[in-house]
Amino acid sequence: MPNIGGPGDTTRRICAMVAKSVIMYAAPVWMKVWKTKTYKEKLERLNRRLSIKVARAYRTVRHNAVLVIAGLPPLELLAIEKDDIEKGKSKETSRRDLLANWQARWNEEKCWTRVDKEY
């Protein structure tokens, strides 16, 4: 999909969610090897490409920033959410935990937009 023109935002999000559904179907399998650097990098690279296409961003944008702009949570957090639901946690509680973890990661991010001084 090109960044300029091409399908609209809704179509882009649907395509990304279909791809993520296929990935998340195998989440119980790849979650066990998530600590392996090569597998983790491959999945993060795929997630980044999906997010860049949804957000119509340049490829130079930071990974965490493009995830926030596209509104697509990291795969690791989605896998944890799915695992929690399978263990009996409610969907609402699992989603709340996912968003809280995602927000915590964003708050820890060091970037030029972060200002630590009080005025």
What percent of the chain is modeled with pLDDT above 70? Answer: 87
Would you state the pLDDT for residue 119? 43
pLDDT per residue over 88-111, tens digit each? 999 999 999 999 998 888 888 776
Give the global pTM: 0.75
How far is residue 64 from each of residues 19, 32, 49, 84, 106, measured CA to CA in Å?
A: 19, 23, 12, 23, 7
pLDDT per residue over 7-28, tens digit each? 777 777 878 888 888 888 877 7
